[in-house]
Structures are given as C-alpha cells and as structure tokens.
Amino acid sequence: MKEYLKEQITEALHALGLEADGIDIQFEKPKVADHGDLSTNIAMMMARDAKKNPRVVAGEILGKLDLDPARISAAEIAGPGFINFRYASEHLTEALEDILLRGDAYGRSDANAGKTVNVEWVSANPTGPLHAGHGRQVCIGATICSLLEWTGWTVTREYYFNNAGNQMNNLATSIRERYLALLGEEISDENILYAGEYIADIARAIHQEHADTKRSAPLEYFRKQGEERCFAMIRATLDRLSVIHDVFYNEDTLYSDGKIDEVLTALRAKGVVYDKDEAVWLKTTEFGADKDRVIIKSTGEPTYRLPDIAYHREKIVRGFDRIIDIFGADHIATIPDVLAAVRTMDLRTEHIDVIIHQMVSFVNEGEAVKMSKRSGNVYYLEDLIDDVGIDAVRFFFIMRGANSHLEFDIKLAQEQSENNPVYYLQYAHARIASILRFAEQEGMADLAQAQLALLAHESEIALIKELLRFPEWVEISARTCETQHLCTYLHSCATAFHKFYHDCRVVTEDRALSAARIALCKATMQVLRNGFTIIGIDAPEKM
C-alpha cells in the first residue's frame, strides 16, 4: 500500500510542477485510530518550495490523486497539513485472502534478490565454552541472517575461527598441567591460566584415552586437543540453539597463506606503518585516533588489529555486496582503526556495517547471577539454556536494541504467564490452535466458502490491519538489522488477537460468520508462526 501511495503522490507532485525526484515520501500509522490508517507529511515538506501554506498544498495534492476506491476509502487533511488515508474494506478482505494464500511465504520478498551479504558473528575464541553473555551475539546474528534471507539476500554465515596467538598457548599449558597432575606430577598453579572445570574435563578425557603416553607430548599436541575439544563445546551449544554457520574461517590461514605478510607490506608501502622500540606500529593518529597503535609486539606476536585488517581485506576481496560484522562492546575501539587501515590499501569499506551490542547482565529473583552451577566461576550459555529453555534464550536476547544494555531476568524467562513476553506470544499461537481444533470438531474447518467481508467488528478490523503490517516490519527489521522491531510487532499482533478473541466469539450458530472468523484465526496463526520462524522459536499448538 505504501508503494502504491508513493506512486500516486509522486505523480501528483509532478502534475503540480513540484520537484519530486529524490523526495523520501514517508508514511506513519497515526497514533489515534480514528485519524486513519496511514499518514504522510509530504505537504509540509513541499510547502516551502511551493511557497504556500501546507494545508493548501495538501489540498492541491489531494486534488491530483486518482485513488482506487477498492484500496483507499477516504483521504483527508488533518492538523497543520498531514494527509491521512483510510483503507477500503475490500482492500482488507483481499489482503486477508493473500495471507492465507501465501502461507509460509507471507512476509517474504525478493527486494534484495541477487545480492550477497556476509554476516560474521560469534567468532568466540576456542579457549572454552560460550559463556552466557555470548548468547546475545549468537541470537542477534542468527535472527539478522534470517531477516536478510526473508528479504531476498543470499546470506553467507561466517565464524572467524581465532585460533592463533598466545591465548592458545595458555590453553595448551593449562591442559597439560592438569593432565600431568592426573599422572601424579607436581604442577604449578601459575601455569594454569585457564581455570575452568572444562580444562580438567579435557585433561581427564586425554588421560582416559591415552593413559600416560602423552606425558612427553609437545605443547602443540595439547594445543590441538584444547582447540578441537573447546570448539566442539561451542558447536554443541550453537547446535542446541539451531544456529548454523556456512564458513569457519581459520585465522591460522592468514599466516600460512602469507596474507599477514601481504598486508604488512601493503601498509608499509602506503607509509602508515613504522618500527619503534622493536615493535611495529600503525599510524592510527592519521585516521583520527589519539595515539598510534602497536600491530606487532616486540615479542613478534601480532596484536588483534593486524589479523583483523588482513581478514577484512579477504572478505572484501571475496566480493560480497554487503558485509556485516557483529561485535561486543569491547571491539568499539579497534574497528575504526581496522577499517581505516583497509581503506589505505585502496579498498572500499562503505558496504561494511558494524553492529556493536552492549553487555548483558543476568538477574534471578532480583539477585545478580555470578556463579555457574557447573564451573563455580562462570555462567555458561549451556547453563542458561538449561535454566530457561531455548525459546526464552532466543527471544530474550533479541527483544531489546543491541546498542542498549540488556538485563536478562531468569525468573521472568521461566514464568508461564503473560508477563513473560515469549510465553505471551506462544500462548496466542496455542490458543488459536485450540480454537481450530474445536472448530474442526464442530465441522467448521472448511474455509472454501468463508465470506471475509462479514468481518466488520472493530476488533476484527484492528486485527486484520495488524496482520497487514507484518511484511513491513520484516523489511524494516532486516534493513536496520534491529531485531527488537519484529519482537515488538509480534507482541502487538498477539495483543490484537487476544482482544479480538475477547470481543468476538469465533464458533457461533452463525456458520458463515464463524467461517470468516476461523479464517481470521488461521491468518493470525500464520503470521505468528512466520515471525517465530524468523526468530527461531517454537510455535506450540498446546501449552
């Protein structure tokens, strides 16, 4: 509908001799339902160029519109110059039919067909299981990928496998010490730099499989064991949440394939790298930073910036139309340096979107969660899943904007009441399923003869209008990569359904009206289910 009205208004502006090219004609849902279904301020935007009062311009625009009465029943001027439009009942009926016809495809579009996007997220170091805080990035990234696919993008889901650097040596040393302790040797606590119980578990597994035959094994053996077993833990957690990746990019390949050396040579050639105090520095002050940054330490070990620069260079060279990075707040200082360095190598970065999510805190019955049941010092994502379930994890982590702090209320997530937002949504779906089962028992399941024009009650119309907004909110959520918009919409949809259910008995003695209301229930169920599919939560039929 918005596209239709944009075309109509653009033609009207041209007819009035007003410059319409490049004008972003916006529509909003009026806050007061009596004011109509869509409102635009285009007349106020054009008033200065027209040198007329906005209400006069609005009247002139209305005079040039050739609106289809089957789509728009009325258009009127409001306030200082808003133009309000009201949907025709025929449009609502046809739109409801379209939802039922398109089914699982309702809300999908091919707006970005043929375009490719790389989304990199999670990318946790393989030095241990995912902690609960990782869950926010895990769930945000998975939902964004789903939203992008629903709007036509070809998505490559990528995990940057950061298995290089001293962190891996620390992991290996920690595991070896625990293993030697099992053999009765004295060990030094100073060598156990990763102290989680999972380190002891890995050591015990090695001992069970190899007894004492790995007593003299090189550190590289324990490094490989740690990497593989830690990443297996990470993959198992992601699998529980149905989070998949297409590509696992190994940081080691940046070194083995010579990409790090290539980047360093290119940066030196551009004059943005220099040597000082036996270290290699990047001239980040030339990019607006307060001081230059080390990219290779005096020990010869690169800092995160250098491989990150090389990795982004590789992603750009691979030719994606769009690149999305999802990082925690601890990356906020490094990303500008990385992208600036990439630009010095004559590579574009304007197609790279960086999403920074803020930290998460966990509370349970008002108390901060600091301890894990299993590890004694870390609350793992596996713990959280066990505590509240997969659906609550997937929903709670995406229901707030990524740029705001999130407080994850464990007790609320466990509640089976309307106070729990995910329960509230799923209960609406289950209630509809129950209605449909009853309708089938009463012999009213066939919708072939449903007369949708009979839906005229205020709550019926409000629900239909809410269902029509689903494709728009999928598009907005995908375009902005802000998952909370879809969550908010689904809540509004469920609220509209609950009001309809309260006001309108579905199965009545009037079989024609019942059939129409059953069709409305099925359409609502479809929209909720499609939204749940994007988010990655279950659509229960019984609760």
- Domain residue extents for the chain: 2-87, 93-110+418-535, 116-162+244-357, 166-240
Q: What are phi and psi of 490, to 5 degrees?
A: -60, -35
Within a 10 A sphere around the Cβ of 66, how many other Cβ atoms? Answer: 8
User: Residue 20 gets which letter from DSSP?
Assistant: -
Annotate 448-468 with DSSP letters as a single string.
Answer: TT--GGG--SHHHHHHHHHHH
Within a 10 A sphere around the Cβ of 166, how many other Cβ atoms? Answer: 11
What's the half-sphere exposure (Cβ side, CA atoms, 13 Å) at 221? Answer: 12
Q: Is this prediction's pTM over 0.75? A: yes
Q: What homologous superfamily does CATH list for 116-162+244-357?
A: HUPs (3.40.50.620)
Tens place of pLDDT per residue across the chain (543 aa): 888 899 898 888 888 888 777 788 888 888 777 888 899 999 888 888 888 899 998 898 888 888 988 898 888 998 888 989 999 999 999 999 999 999 999 999 999 999 999 999 999 999 999 999 999 999 999 999 999 999 999 999 999 988 877 888 999 999 999 999 999 998 877 778 888 889 999 999 999 999 999 999 999 999 999 999 999 999 999 999 999 999 999 998 999 999 999 999 999 999 999 999 999 999 999 988 889 999 999 988 888 899 999 999 999 999 999 999 999 988 888 899 999 999 999 999 999 999 999 999 999 888 888 755 444 478 899 999 999 999 999 999 999 999 999 999 999 999 999 999 999 999 999 999 999 999 988 887 766 678 999 999 999 999 999 999 999 999 999 999 999 999 999 999 999 999 999 999 999 989 899 999 999 999 999 999 999 999 999 999 998
Cα 32 from Cα 21, distance rounded (Å): 31
The sheet carrying 367-368 orders its strands as 367-368, 360-364, 406-409
What's the half-sphere exposure (Cβ side, CA atoms, 13 Å) at 432? Answer: 28
Q: Of 539, 422, 543, which is closest to residue 491 (Cα–Cα)?
A: 422
Q: What homologous superfamily does CATH list for 93-110+418-535?
A: Isoleucyl-tRNA Synthetase; Domain 1 (1.10.730.10)
Instruction: Indicate the fold that domain 2-87 takes in CATH.
Output: Gyrase A; domain 2 (3.30.1360)
* Topology agreement, domain 93-110+418-535 and domain 116-162+244-357: no
